[in-house]
Amino acid sequence: MYDQQASQPDYKEIDWAKIDLDNLHPADVADKLEELSLEEQKKFILAQPVEFSAQCIAEMEQSQQIELISVLPPELAADILEEMSPDDATDILAALPLDVRQSILSKIEKEDAVKIKDLLKFDPDTAGGVMNTEILVLDRNLTVDQAIQLIRSNAGEIEIPYYAYIVDEHRHLQGVLSLRDLFLGPASKTLQELLAEQEQHLIFVTYDQDKEEVAKLLSRYDLLAIPVVDHDMRLLGIVTADDVIDIIQEEASEDMQTMVGAGPDETLHTPWTYSVQKRLPWLVVNVFNSVISASVVHKFEGTIAQMAVLAVLMPIVANQAGNTGQQALAVMIRQLALEPFDSKKFWRAVGREAKIALVNGLIIALLVFCGVYFWTHNLKLSLVMGIALVLDMVLGAVAGASIPLILRSLGRDPAQASTIFLTTLTDSGGFFTFLGLASLFLLK
């Protein structure tokens, strides 16, 4: 145990006015802590009971958790991590530098350390990496009465108390019973008999399934927890609805942010230098992509020199197609996040987007045709503009619907930088059709 008295902090240096612990939930304390400097955070934690420290740190953002745990004395860090649920402790340890991790792990009580080392083996993006192992596991041969006795005697230790997982002697998952099923069941029946009476759709995942897949299943079947098994159906743990909420929020941020080439996990609290690192490569890609569309314009420099009004109108075509494509892209990325997708669905989606873009394109083209004719009194120019708009908008929609699926089939994140690729296509396509038609029909 870490001796808290030995390093009592100097209370005067902490701005206690900033923190009022009365009636504050640990999640709220965590918020207030995040506003403090690392030094102040450390002093605060040193002055708190270990259990409360663990609750607060568990609620902080990961980048801040890591920094804070790293500056605490390893003995205290070990005590704090022991108080957390093993999956939370594992997430923090996995993100620590190897030497810090080792020095803390060596000070964690053996039983907890074994659990954590087991969890550290799982890929953090899989069911195994997010699962909770503190669950209520009952042998199928127990009677209801025996099961209730067992629960009473282990009451304090189980974090999630509303489902009991029924296994055979080799820990193969047989079914799930709610606490209500148990407490209301006939005392002398075995759990296996109780299970047999229920019509169960046993939904489970294997430890190596992607965590986003787990989130989809739990959400699809409106569950509060989903069991995780190995390939022999042996029960390993569960993923709960509150974990799934975090996974879904992460995924939503990831999709929206990677779509435009920002970092998947950027928040207001991540260091700005991290954001520079994450975004710069995609901005560079964007420069090279812009060069492609600029080179299309370059091909028509002669046309533009003769008719500078083309330079005025050409961004409108590219812009409309870009917007149309982004609408298709956004709907598609969300569909991929929510539903399974096969090639039949893919073609239906592309067809749907093309149809929408065609109708919207015709209406927008008519509007723009009238506007350009009213402004220039040049019928041919107005026609060229309208035709280029329709063509480029349909191109944008087809590209917007296809890019995420193409990226996915290449084994990439379907959202990654998708607007950047899309804009290259709609810009080049728009400039090419508009300037190409213009040089064919408008110049002498």
- Report the site for a copy of itself in 186-225 (rule: CB under 8 A): 201, 203, 218-224
Q: How far is the CB of 96 from a copy of itself (least distance, A)?
A: 23
Q: Candidates 42-50, 113-121, 206-214, 277-285 — which segment interacts with a copy of itself by CB under 8 A?
A: 277-285
- Identify the CA nearest to 176 among candidates 216, 218, 212: 218
- Residue 12 near residue 42, CB atoms below 8 Å: no
Stretch in the footprint of a copy of itself (CB under 8 A) among 3-11, 95-103, 204-212, 419-427: 419-427
Do strands 205-206 and 225-229 pair parallel, antiparallel, or not at all (unpaired)? parallel
In angstroms, give the least distance from the CB of 409 to a copy of itself: 18
Asked if 309 and 381 count as a contact pair (C-beta separation under 8 A), the reply is yes
Please, which residue, 81 or 356, has the CB nearer to a copy of itself? 356
- Site map (CB under 8 A) of a copy of itself, residues 330-359, x = contact: xx-xxx-xxx-----x--xx--x--xx--x
Q: 222: exposed, middle or buried (C-beta count within 10 Å: 0-12, 13-18, 19+)?
A: exposed
Q: How far is the CB of 278 from a copy of itself (least distance, A)?
A: 9
Q: Which of 19, 50, 309, 383 binds a copy of itself (CB under 8 A)?
A: 309
Q: Applying CB under 8 A, does 21 fall inside the site for a copy of itself? A: no
Q: Is 367 in the site for a copy of itself (CB under 8 A)?
A: yes
Q: Binding of a copy of itself at residue 110 (CB under 8 A)? A: no
Contact 263, 279 (CB under 8 A): yes
Tokens 């230098």 belong to which residue?
A: 273
Task: Tell me if 26 sits within 8 A of 58, measured CB to CB.
Answer: yes
With beta carbons less than 8 A apart as the criterion, state whether 217 and 205 touch.
yes
Contact status: 378 vs a copy of itself (CB under 8 A):
no
Tokens representing 368?
């723009």
| 6 lies in the site for a copy of itself, by CB under 8 A | no
The torsion of the CA quartet 163, 168, 174, 177, rounded to 10 degrees, works out to -30
Could you tell me which of 239, 293, 295, 266 has the C-alpha nearest to residue 125?
Answer: 239
Q: How far is CA 136 from CA 4, 40, 119, 238, in A?
A: 34, 39, 18, 10
Name the DSSP class of 7.
G
Q: Which of 77, 259, 385, 391 binds a copy of itself (CB under 8 A)?
A: 259
Of 102 and 200, nearer to a copy of itself (C-beta) is 200
Q: Given the complex with a copy of itself, which of 5 and 23 has the nearer CB atom?
A: 23
Is residue 143 at the binding interface for a copy of itself, with CB under 8 A as the rule? no
**Does residue 371 belong to the site contacting a copy of itself (CB under 8 A)?**
yes
**Torsion over CA of 260, 262, 267 and 270, rounded to 10 degrees?**
-170
Q: Cα separation of 289 and 421, whole Å?
A: 8
Under the binding rule (CB under 8 A), the answer on residue 260 touching a copy of itself is yes
CB 350 within 8 A of CB 356: no
Which of 19, 142, 311, 383 binds a copy of itself (CB under 8 A)? It is 311
Question: Of 1, 6, 17, 268, which one interacts with a copy of itself (CB under 8 A)?
Answer: 268
Among 92, 105, 329, 381, contact with a copy of itself (rule: CB under 8 A): 329
Cβ-based burial of 24 (10 A; exposed 0-12, middle 13-18, buried ≥19): middle
Q: Which of 72, 164, 166, 368 binds a copy of itself (CB under 8 A)?
A: 368
Give how many residues touch a copy of itself by CB under 8 A: 107
Contacts of a copy of itself in 394-413 (CB under 8 A): none
For a copy of itself, the binding residue among 152, 231, 377, 444 (CB under 8 A) is: 152
- Dist. CA 102–CA 93, nearest whole Å: 9
The reply on whether position 319 binds a copy of itself by CB under 8 A is yes
